[in-house]
Each structure stands twice: as C-alpha cells, then as structure tokens.
Amino acid sequence: MNDLPPVTTHEWTHLPDADHIAAIRADAARYSRGGLAHLVLEVVAYPVDEAESGTTNRVLVTLHGDGSISVEDNGRGTNVFFDETGRPMVKPIMATRDVRFFDNPAAEQLPDGLPRTGLSVVAALSTWLIHENRRLDGAWTRRYNHGLPESELTEVDAGAHTGTVVHFQPDPEVFGGQVLTVEKLRPLLERFSTEAHIELRT
C-alpha cells in the first residue's frame, strides 16, 4: 500500500478502532450527558471548521419524523486516500478517535458548554449512522451500526455538488425517550461563530 496520510485528526491505520468504540459505549452516560442536541453540535462543528477555510457556506440540519437526524453541507467532502489498486479509503472519522478532541482537557467547547469529542462519539451512541461523501473524484456511502461499519464503501452517483451528509439514529438504549425540538436546538446552532448559513428543518 502507498504511504498513508499523516495523522492530523485521525489515525488512518485503525479502520475501525473497535476498542475505541467499545470504550465509548461502555461509558455512554458520560458521553451522552449533553443529550441529543450535543450529538448534533458535534456533527455541525465539522462543516463549521470547513467554513473557516472557505470550503463550506451552507449547513442543513433536519430533524426527521422517525427521530433520526441528518446534517448536510456543501463542502469539499471528507478526505479520501486511494491505495495502489485505486481502492478508496475515506478518512476514518466515524470509527476512530479525533486526536484533537477526544478526552483532551484542552478541547474546544461547543455551544452547549460541553467539550468537543468528535464524530466517533456520535456514531458509537447511534443505532445506525450513514455517512455519504461526495467529492470531485467520486462519491461513496457507508453505514455504521453502533459505531462500527456494516460494510465496505459503496460508490454512489457523484451528482452535481460536493459535500457530506451524516444521517444518524440516536440509540434509544442510551437516550431513552428524549425528543429533540427545534426550540431547543435552534438557539444552540445560532451560537456557532461562523460565516456558514446553518438552516434547521423538520
């Protein structure tokens, strides 16, 4: 295999890190203390990061009728590495720890006042999560169950635009009967300091 990209946010050689996901689920009370709103903030923080470099200017958050939540942006898509056979490897943001934030006492705070931990916490605390990734050089999707990939990457139609969609179903065994409302989430989203337009729909 060609040399893997350097570790700046995630360890590419751990695909996935099952021990990391298991540790989150074993301490679910700690990582879920911010409730459903915090999961959304964890996801939105990534396109907000992209907006700082000018690659994203729109984020759409949708609260679906089945209790699932999706976050879509119009950025450049999640980073992809191709091995010597041309097989794509998407940056392992769902099933490995984000070294900048996870269990880092110096991690930035999200708008709810809780520390940022990364997308792996969202994936681990969800019954399922679907990551759709559209880039100039292709588009792929993958489904995760309780934080671990259910299958290999599946190539999809690239469409007319690049960007990322993270659609997840919070685990009822962790969050019980919690219901996330527009009234609770909107003020938190408005606290992000960003030039990107964040839209909230139901």
- What is the spatial distance between Cα 139 and Cα 154, in angstroms, rounded to a whole number? 8
Give the model's pLDDT for residue 82.
Answer: 73
- pLDDT, tens digit (0-9, with 9 covering 90-100), for 191-202: 999 999 999 999
Predicted TM-score of the model (pTM): 0.90
Give the model's pLDDT for residue 132.
Answer: 94
Domains delineated in the chain: 34-201 (3.30.565.10)
Q: Residue 192 carries which DSSP code?
A: S
Across the chain, which has 202 residues, the per-10-residue mean pLDDT values are: 59 75 96 97 96 94 97 88 74 83 91 96 97 91 95 85 96 95 97 96 96
Give the model's pLDDT for residue 93.
Answer: 78
Residue whose structure tokens are 């685990």:
171
Residue type, 139: A
Nearest of 87, 93, 96 to residue 153 by alpha carbon:
87
Residue whose structure tokens are 């959304």:
40
- What is the spatial distance between Cα 44 and Cα 166, in angstroms, rounded to a whole number? 10
